[in-house]
Structure 1
Amino acid sequence: MNEYRVQGLSCGGCALRLQQEIERLQHGEDAKLSFASGKLTVSSEISMDAVRKILRSDGASIIEPQAGEYGRSERHHHDGAEGHSHDHAHDHAHGHAHAHGSGMFGGALRTVAVAAILYAAALVADSYANQIYAVLLYAAAAIISGYTTFAKGLKNLLRLRFTMDTLMTIALVGAAAIGEWKEAAFVAILFGLNEYLEGLGMERARKSMDALLKATPKNALKLDNGRELMIPIDELRVGDTVRVKAGEMIPSDGIITEGSSEVNEAAITGESLPLDKQAGNEVYGGSINGSGMLHIRIEKAYVDSSLANILHLVEEAQETKTPTELFINRFAAYYTPGIMILAALVAAIPPLLFGKDWIASLYEGLSVLIVGCPCALILASPVAIVSGIARAARHGILVKGGVFLEQLGKLDTIAFDKTGTLTKGEPHVARTVEWDDQLLRIAGAIEQASSHPLAKAVMREVEARKTEIPAPQEIKTKAGSGVEASIDGSIYYLGNEKAMSHLQWTEEQLSAMEALKSEGLTLVIVADEHKALGLFGIQDEIRPESAGMIRSLHALGIKRTVMLTGDHERTAAKVAGEVGVTSYESSLLPQDKVERVKELGDKAAMIGDGMNDAPALAAASLGIAMGKGTASAVETADIVLMQDHIGKLPEAISIAKKVNRVIRINIGAALGLKLIALLLTIPGWLTLWIAVLSDMGATILVTLASLTLLIERRK
């Protein structure tokens, strides 16, 4: 498939009709033309000359081929001399589109302004009884403002294709034919202003989205045997080391090998505050180095990096049609012919049955045709969807399609994995019980060389207490139970209860152990050959934002929050109680989670981060993954929270609810204003300029309401 930028799309309805015409061409069945992004996707086998001809018939044209996919190594073929490399094509297409877009809309506004001045002059001439001059000025205003519409409409009329341009052309010619030059000029000016506002609204939404796509680094300073080589990021390979100076953009995902600095990851995670990074820490391509010099070992080629995937998925998200959009498109297919039939009845029935003047009835019929334009209705959803996706992305919430954004706003149930989602997925010591002052010293000596997660938790506790650690003489690992070590000539043991079978426990010790186990803690016991020195109660630390996030979800109208975990009952109960979910299920295998998620219904989402969560994410009506989770979870999910915590989930749902609310308002406004205008035909009050104003009013309301989604209050 090849992708192209298209300029001159005047409305959503026009884009839909052009797509349908391209689909009728040979090899055109998979064509997609998006009014939201101004992007055309067609088969590489299609005749581009035929495609260009169809676009030109409506005043649209291709401005530049666009690189096939963000974040993919595949390069798409483009016909003729228009082919460019990935970066050049992308930069040129975006720059040219923006420059031309600005010129196109500025030109349209100037045209309308000139026509308005001529119209004002005509009014003055008319008031002084200079009828000929007035007519000439009205005609000039109508021609200047309506020439493009008239040219497209005439072509469509000859093909018996009834678009808005066709309807406007009929109305303008009809008004002029009956001597209503003043009204013809006024209608032309209003329609020109309407088209300008409609295009400007979508362009504003597109630019907000394009701002997210500009965070693409172009080059990298590669270190090669002491030399510094400036190379395109496409040429970076896994294992390469790059130098990133203060203020520069990190070219791809990697690990810091030298240096320390604060790194701004806002473009990737939405985290507004810079994070301190040092050797050994992970960094993302697209994030900005603060004040220090960093050497970074590249862990992912750019095409597989976090930033490249975000850019690819955000662009892709603009192309998906929501259920509401699909319904509106189907509705418009019946609505437009229905309006045409109604217009014919309004024009013919009063003269035939009631003796009304034919000219007056024909005039009202033309007005009904204009009222029936579905453009504002078709525009009701895409501007809101693009604005919502852009706003979510600014917060580090990656929504992979408008359909998922709409669905997110309809949820009533959310299921959570426990480990790594509601908790950090990192064991920590929650309780320490000391029966001997040697506990920390011996525990540190035994665990210091171990990479086991529980050992790391114990070592963090030992180091936090600034304990001096001796070196062990010998260490033996006992599978499944613990470790035996020789320290300072004595034998010590560390492990679970099974590893302490040689001990005689006191009632006090047994009571202490039972209390920790009742809290859902895992026990790590330290002992010598005769007695226990103490123990550590370890648990997976609950994320500090989890409880507040659950409360916010309930406040937003989420009725059920369910925790699904493979952990045992005691731990599950403890975590569920602390975070405040409405229910939980424990000891679940991955396939069990899939079944539970399916039982939750079609207004439920699943959120997780691990490999074992991927099946449940796929099975859920909506899958939400943690951005730093496994690749399989992120790929499977419909929505990705790019930060390594779930605090942004309520924000995501709030944005989605606002988008759905705006779409409902837009549909109501578009249909409501048209209905009011149509009702004016009953007393005979509907005029051409009122018809245009009804469509114009709907367009303005729809556009402004959608663009409010981009506005955020400063906190």
Structure 2
Amino acid sequence: MSSTEKQVQDSCCTDDHCSSKQTPQTAIDIDKRTSCCGDNDCKESNDSNNTDEQSQSTSSLETFEYQIKGMDCPSCAATIEKSLTKTKGIETVQVNYGTGKMAIGANHSSVSEQIPKQVRKLGFEAEAIPDKKNTQTYKVEGMDCGSCAMTIEKHLTKNPNVKEVSVNFSTGKMQIDHDTNQEEIIKEVERAGFGASLESKRKQQEDPSEKKQKDATTTISGILLALGFFGSFTNIAPTLITVLYAAAIVIGGYKPARSAFYAIKSGSLDMNVLMASAAIGASLIGEWFEGATVVWLFALGNTLQNRSIERTRESIRSLINLTPSEASVKIGDKMVRKPVEDVSINDTIIIKPGEKIPLDGEIMTGTSSINQAPITGESMPVDKQQGDTVYAGTVNENGSLEVTVTKLVEDTTIAKIIHLVEEAQEKKAPTQAFVDRFAKVYTPIVFGLALLVMVLPPLLGIGTWGEWVYKGLALLVVACPCALVISTPVAIVSAIGNAAKNGVLIKGGTFLEKAGAIKTIAFDKTGTLTEGKPKVSEVLVIHGNEQELVSITRTIEEHSTHPIAQAITTYAAERNIPAKNGDSFSAITGKGAQATINGVEYFAGNPKLYHEMNVSLTDLEDRIQSLQKEGHTLVVVGTRSEALGIIAVADTIRDITVQSIQNLKQVGMGEMVMLTGDNQGTAKKMATQTGVDRYFAELLPEEKVTAVKKLQEEGKSVAMVGDGINDAPALATADLGIAMGGAGTDTAMETADIVLMADNLEKLPHTISLSRRALAIIKQNVWFSLLTKLAALVLIFPGILTLWMAVLSDTGAALLVILNSMRLLKQK
């Protein structure tokens, strides 16, 4: 929830369910009116942080961190805290509902073993967060399917200096906790047949010489193969042709053979093992041309796959380049260029027109329009002035700005986006997890079958050894499920990358798949479908004219910071209606405010104030009741003897809401539901204006969870859209939680399954459409991969499928799957 929306609710809600109000700072600020929220959205806040004194007194304790699963409201966090503080040995407990994390301060380490059991008894799950102080991230090159990642992991775990290692094929990254040096880790990865480089804060440039060497190996192997092939049609000696083929096999097959050696040593059966076995086997039975063709097609396929996969990975890495590497820092009267890593919090930086903003900060002087599309995906620039927040990577379109830095380079909003998206890409979707399990079973089975095919028929006297060994070798190639394993992760990486570039954070493949299957969306009303802040909706004049009425009201209200008062003064300012000369300003607690203008006492307040002053509103009762039923807050303006008019204030529908809902219908969304605390009349009117299909009215905050459960009981897969932590229980209950305004709130970025970085629904239709297309492409990839393998298996035994055709079908299918997935990168 934005700070403005928070102020509206805290200042003007009179709902008994609000647990806290802001303390007013002036007499006029005490002016509290009938609730302008209309929606009982105020919720109990979770204040689980201990005081500074407590943290200082427990600095000597051992600290353990856990991820807590199963909390669906802030009271769950309180329950866990109360229970664990009674456990012997535990001194401090902090449970943060927003991030789902728990920090334990204990006086001995043995307590850590009891904590998960204790939390499980309470109905939740606690998972220890490993200490990653010594963990380094490396960029790994040369992986062309998930089995390569497994080979590297198994190889490195045999090194006694490596504590823990995790290699992710999708992102091309390796997380490793070790006690040795960087050079040793890089060498170990190279021994396994791959390249590695320690990832810096900024994108490392690829070594061009290394790239040329890779290309040269494949090219030389191809030339030797071509010379041997065309030489076979001439009078060149067969021995020389065999030498050319053998050289092609050795040069092109060196890298996969080396990788195969370490894979076997690590107990892994990856594609390098299968391809190397096929090439060596073909050579042993005298099929030199087949062996050389296998090696060259495999190398060529890998090169093309690697380049294609790198393009999908670059969809995220390119976000790093959105931020400039240097900033202009103001030191006294001078301006000094510094690397962004050397800029500290509270430093003042200068951003000229047309420049990218290097770090998150707050504008101290200057006004400008900022293009926030790289962060929020918003199509139009946003006007910014003193006190507003600006984000690294956005563009200052006009006007020079002085900005106070509020976050270090590693903590900026865009840095968090990159981190969260990379984490999301590492999380396996249900489909991917199933495919990986299938591949683990499929490969050994087909490998075993290939060995049986080589040995059993000849022993039984069926055919020759050469014939069946050849067919077995073809089976070895088909045993590699590369296309199938790649089918899901590349599509997910592409879709998540596309979403991130358009201002949408999808937290993982699981949520991408869920978004694609959603049929019903429930929207919180206040702050989601509406602005979440009041605006003047109608001015009803009884005596005099509208300008006079608004001028008097502005005079009374401009001394108040109350949201309703600000709505009226903004309305007057937009129409250039000036305030009058007044004095004796004062607030009437809970009813309104007053001021003396030209010796006459004027009041602006709710109808109750005028009833107490015995001012007749009989002629206006019908209109007052009608406006109040529609969710308007009324400010009656007049003197002690008569009412001059009424100004109606209400929350307004966002400009983008109606268009977004229409777009959702166009992409095939089945049902859209509004959840609100408004009465039936107001809810019905709002539903008609926004275009939602159904609404639940008069809901207390906790009843939104009940409404979501009711939709689920109807057999619907439900997404809940809210504006951050205030809607957390409902977001957690829904099948998919979508939060808006992530650019302004770290909590929203941490808690929701999907985050719309802009504070509106503009990108929601794109997200749903992208998710559905991703699901469709994943299904296409999986079926295509399975059918290709099935066709290859069927064609091997009649002798139709040659060895080089088997390699071509495997690498070709993998490449087609990658290219099909990459279409998601370009979806508008």
Structure 2: which amino acid aligns with 1:470? K
Q: Is the 8 A contact 2:725 2:751 kept in 1?
A: no
Deviations 1:43-93 (A, max 9, x none): 3458979865753442124322x3xxxxxxxxxxxxxxxxxxxxxx323xx
1:532 is the counterpart of 2:638: no
State how far apart, in whole Å, the 1-side matches of 2:678 and 2:339 are: 47
1:59 is the counterpart of 2:193: yes
The match for 1:574 among 672, 682, 685 is: 685
State how far apart, in whole Å, the 2-side matches of 1:537 and 1:203 are: 57
1:415 is the counterpart of 2:415: no
1:277–1:462 Cα change, 3 Å: same
1:207 is the counterpart of 2:298: no
Secondary structure at 2:534 match in 1: strand
Residues 214-613 of structure 1 mapped to structure 2, 5 A cutoff: 214-234=321-341, 236=343, 238-353=345-460, 355-436=462-543, 437=545, 438-501=548-611, 502-505=613-616, 508-601=619-712, 603-613=717-727
State how far apart, in whole Å, the 1-side matches of 2:413 and 2:733 are: 24
Deviations 1:242-292 (A, max 9, x none): 221223222333332322333222221123443343334432222122242
The match for 1:615 among 726, 729, 750 is: 729
- Structure 2 equivalent of residue 84 of structure 1: none
Structure 2: which amino acid aligns with 1:95? Q
Deviations 1:124-178 (A, max 9, x none): 2211242233222222222222222233335555777533222222222222222
Secondary structure at 2:286 match in 1: coil
Residues 674-713 of structure 1 mapped to structure 2, 5 A cutoff: 674-712=789-827
**Identical counterparts, % of pairs:** 40
Structure 2: which amino acid aligns with 1:692? V
Deviations 1:644-686 (A, max 9, x none): 2111101011111122211111111211111100001342323
Superposed CA RMSD: 2.6
The match for 1:112 among 202, 218, 239 is: 218
Number of aligned residue pairs: 685
1:49–1:464 Cα change, 3 Å: closer
- Structure 1 equivalent of residue 30 of structure 2: none
State how far apart, in whole Å, the 2-side matches of 1:236 and 1:552 are: 43
Secondary structure at 2:674 match in 1: strand
> Which deviates more from structure 2 when the two are superposed, residues 428-437 or residues 615-624?
615-624
Q: Is the 8 A contact 1:26 1:46 kept in 2?
A: no
State how far apart, in whole Å, the 2-side matches of 1:235 and 1:136 are: 59
Q: Is the 8 A contact 1:105 1:199 kept in 2?
A: no
State how far apart, in whole Å, the 2-side matches of 1:455 and 1:246 are: 36
Deviations 1:414-454 (A, max 9, x none): 22111111111121111111112231121111111211111
1:462–1:161 Cα change, 3 Å: closer
Q: Relative CO higher for 1 or 2, CA cutoff 8 Å, sep ≥ 6?
A: 2
State how far apart, in whole Å, the 2-side matches of 1:301 and 1:134 are: 63
Q: Is the 8 A contact 1:590 1:615 kept in 2?
A: no
Secondary structure at 1:680 match in 2: helix
Q: CA deviation at 1:576?
A: 2.1
Structure 2: which amino acid aligns with 1:346? V
Structure 2: which amino acid aligns with 1:670? S
Q: Is the 8 A contact 1:13 1:374 kept in 2?
A: no
Q: What's the TM-score once normalised by structure 2's chain length? A: 0.78
State how far apart, in whole Å, the 2-side matches of 1:159 and 1:389 are: 33
1:665–1:631 Cα change, 3 Å: same
1:32 is the counterpart of 2:133: no
State how far apart, in whole Å, the 2-side matches of 1:174 and 1:14 are: 22
Deviations 1:84-120 (A, max 9, x none): xxxxx323xx224xx13x6555543333333222222
Structure 1: which amino acid aligns with 2:204? G
Q: CA deviation at 1:231?
A: 4.3
> Which deviates more from structure 2 when the two are superposed, residues 237-246 or residues 556-565?
237-246
- Structure 1 equivalent of residue 757 of structure 2: 642
Structure 1: which amino acid aligns with 2:223? I
Secondary structure at 1:379 match in 2: helix
1:586–1:352 Cα change, 3 Å: same
Secondary structure at 1:473 match in 2: strand
State how far apart, in whole Å, the 1-side matches of 2:413 and 2:186 are: 36
Q: Is the 8 A contact 2:154 2:266 kept in 1?
A: no
Q: Is the 8 A contact 1:415 1:563 kept in 2?
A: yes
Q: CA deviation at 1:413?
A: 2.0
State how far apart, in whole Å, the 1-side matches of 2:561 and 2:434 are: 56
Deviations 1:285-306 (A, max 9, x none): 2212224211123344444432
1:188–1:276 Cα change, 3 Å: same
Q: Is the 8 A contact 1:609 1:630 kept in 2?
A: no
1:303–1:160 Cα change, 3 Å: closer
Q: CA deviation at 1:482?
A: 1.0
Structure 2 unaligned regions, length at least 5: 1-131
State how far apart, in whole Å, the 1-side matches of 2:328 and 2:292 are: 61
Deviations 1:369-394 (A, max 9, x none): 11110222111122211111111111
Deviations 1:549-573 (A, max 9, x none): 1222233232232222334444333
- Structure 1 equivalent of residue 233 of structure 2: 127
1:281–1:155 Cα change, 3 Å: closer
- Structure 1 equivalent of residue 115 of structure 2: none
Structure 1 unaligned regions, length at least 5: 67-88
Structure 1: which amino acid aligns with 2:669? I
State how far apart, in whole Å, the 2-side matches of 1:570 and 1:452 are: 26
Q: Is the 8 A contact 1:607 1:617 kept in 2?
A: yes
State how far apart, in whole Å, the 2-side matches of 1:313 and 1:582 are: 34
Secondary structure at 2:796 match in 1: coil
- Structure 2 equivalent of residue 665 of structure 1: 780
State how far apart, in whole Å, the 2-side matches of 1:257 and 1:594 are: 42
Structure 1: which amino acid aligns with 2:256? T
Secondary structure at 2:240 match in 1: helix
Secondary structure at 2:201 match in 1: helix
> Which deviates more from structure 2 when the two are superposed, residues 39-48 or residues 113-122?
39-48
Q: Is the 8 A contact 2:151 2:268 kept in 1?
A: no
1:183–1:39 Cα change, 3 Å: same
1:6 is the counterpart of 2:113: no
